[in-house]
């Protein structure tokens, strides 16, 4: 397994094309750029903690392919215990980073692809599963970070992929030969892509027969010829070019360093292709990935919310109102909401079942309900944190003002709270609240792993409403032909 240093050093060997604010960054300097460095540090924690005896049970496991000890982020779930430990692991890492550490998307993509390729081979006589197992073995043996790449730009949402005016708005196959395939298009909102080793591309939706060229799943290096990454903006990201205090979470940043990844006629050898035209299985891959990914959110967002709760409580203490009854009540409500998110992630894990491949899959209904809770309850948690934090988190002078020899004394004097707490500490915790409860963080909670409507569609389909009607009719003494037969 890689250490954190091994991981960071391995990123310097790539010939990756990354643009930031219109400028092409030297490939050997990408991970040192102020916009990216924090995301690299967060991801490196998934390697550092795996080497700690204290967290070994959560962070590592045994490969079902080789019997070797591996980082859990490269594992295929083999039991309910694996599903539960994943959620506990995510909460623990979030408590230590206060942000996204980016390996979850690729982790979930590999687990979904593993079971779906097995099902595909069984139904169609293809050989995708064995190909994927070889790729998985490569990932495990080298402890690689994989970027899951599902979301396409989509263009006109009222049209299917093959109906778009521009066919490249969904990733598709443009050529095939004896050696492999050539793909074109783009993937959007790509978390951790610029500091990953490989990307695992999946279709973004269930495809119909006319969309066969868009039913593609494959793996390729993030620095493959023809790949360009355009780094996205984040709220207050120019602060990363300045001092430490104003960043709030200077070491680890906020969210996951998303980008737009352009694929300009990229060649993929057949051994890296795990779906090519099998439209009947594309929807299954999307659903399995989505459910695995939605499982995560009570874990990772539970851990992030633990930090927000702590920050709000510290701000109250530093300001002198930590013992006020209404503040205690608000903090208790934040705790209640946080544990509610966590409970749903544990529940969908505990109700997991094995697929025919042997890999375990979460309960899809509970996974979607849990993620939908995140799209609402995170806003309540963060609203309460902002309430407790006060207006100062939105109007605070900068670190440069605090350090200025002429006016710094005024900032220090008039932003003082409790006498024995340094003004700088109060400013630091205020900036952390601002950083973690505004802008990008809330957008990711709302739309990461699918917008709220996506979960509604899924749990409406999975909830078996007709059976619920039967329960009610039976108790009311209404006997349909179907209920009488039962």
State the catalytic residues. 100, 104, 191, 258, 293, 297, 300, 444
Q: Which residue has the tokens 């005016």?
A: 165
Residue 146 pairs in a beta bridge with: 198
Residues in the chain: 486
Residue 269 pairs in a beta bridge with: 180
Q: Are 385 and 98 in contact (CB under 8 A)?
A: no
* Residue 113 counted as an annotated binding residue: no
- Cα–Cα distance for residue pair 109/283, rounded to 1 Å: 14
Give the neighbor-by-neighbor strand order of the sheet with 23-25: 23-25, 18-20, 227-231, 259-269, 180-187, 172-176
Q: Are 34 and 234 in contact (CB under 8 A)?
A: no
CA atoms within 13 A on the CB side of 390: 19
- Cα–Cα distance for residue pair 33/195, rounded to 1 Å: 11
- Cα–Cα distance for residue pair 242/257, rounded to 1 Å: 18
Please name which of 118, 134, 135, 115 lies closest in space to residue 126, comparing C-alpha atoms: 118
- Cα–Cα distance for residue pair 433/69, rounded to 1 Å: 38
| Phi, psi values for residue 19, rounded to 5° | -105, 135
Show the DSSP H helices in 102-231 as ranges: 104-124, 128-142
Q: Let me know the angle formed at the C-alpha of 407 by 403 and 411, rounded to the nearest 5 degrees.
A: 75
3-state secondary structure 104-115: HHHHHHHHHHHH
Binding site, annotated residues for FAD: 191
């Amino acid at each position: 397994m890689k250490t954190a240093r091994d991981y960071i050093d391995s990123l310097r060997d790539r010939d990756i094309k990354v643009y930031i604010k219109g400028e092409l960054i030297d490939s050997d300097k990408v991970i040192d750029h102020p916009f990216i460095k924090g995301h690299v540090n967060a991801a490196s924690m998934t390697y550092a903690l795996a080497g700690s005896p204290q967290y070994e049970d959560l962070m590592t496991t045994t490969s079902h392919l080789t019997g070797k000890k591996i980082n859990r982020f490269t594992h295929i779930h083999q039991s309910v215990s694996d599903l539960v430990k994943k959620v506990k692991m995510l909460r623990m890492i979030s408590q230590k980073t206060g942000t996204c550490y980016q390996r979850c998307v690729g982790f979930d993509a590999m687990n979904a692809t593993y079971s779906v390729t097995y099902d595909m081979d069984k139904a169609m006589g293809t050989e995708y599963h064995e190909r994927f197992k070889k790729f998985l073995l490569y990932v495990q043996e080298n402890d690689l970070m994989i970027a899951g790449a599902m979301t396409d730009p989509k263009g006109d949402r009222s049209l299917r992929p093959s109906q778009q005016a521009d066919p490249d708005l969904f990733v598709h196959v443009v050529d095939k030969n004896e050696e492999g395939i050539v793909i074109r298009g783009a993937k959007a909102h790509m978390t951790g892509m610029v500091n990953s080793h490989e990307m695992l591309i999946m279709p973004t939706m269930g495809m119909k027969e006319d969309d066969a060229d868009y039913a593609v799943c494959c793996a390729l290096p993030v620095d493959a010829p023809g790949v360009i990454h355009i780094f996205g903006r984040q709220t207050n990201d120019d602060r990363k070019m300045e001092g430490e205090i104003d960043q709030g979470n200077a070491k680890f940043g906020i969210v996951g360093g998303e980008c737009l990844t352009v694929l300009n006629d990229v060649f993929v050898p057949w051994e890296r292709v795990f779906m090519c035209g099998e439209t009947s299985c594309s929807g299954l891959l999307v659903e399995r990935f989505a459910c695995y990914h939605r499982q995560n959110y009570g874990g990772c967002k539970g851990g992030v919310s633990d930090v927000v709760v702590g920050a709000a409580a510290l701000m109250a203490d530093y300001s002198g109102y930590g013992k006020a009854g209404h503040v205690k009540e608000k903090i208790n409500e934040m705790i209640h909401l946080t544990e509610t998110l966590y409970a749903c992630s544990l529940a969908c894990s505990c109700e997991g079942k094995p697929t025919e491949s042997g890999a375990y899959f979460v309960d899809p209904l509970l996974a979607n309900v849990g993620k939908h809770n995140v799209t609402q309850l995170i806003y309540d948690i963060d609203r309460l944190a902002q309430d407790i934090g006060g207006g100062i988190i939105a109007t605070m002078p900068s670190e440069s003002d605090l350090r200025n020899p002429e006016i710094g004394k005024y900032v220090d004097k008039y932003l003082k709270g409790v006498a024995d707490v340094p003004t700088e500490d109060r400013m630091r915790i205020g900036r952390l609240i601002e950083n973690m409860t505004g802008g990008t963080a809330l957008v990711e909670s709302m739309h990461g792993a699918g917008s709220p409507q996506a979960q509604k569609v899924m749990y409406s389909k999975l909830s078996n409403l007709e059976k619920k009607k039967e329960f009610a009719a039976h108790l009311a003494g209404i006997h349909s032909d179907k209920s009488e037969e039962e």
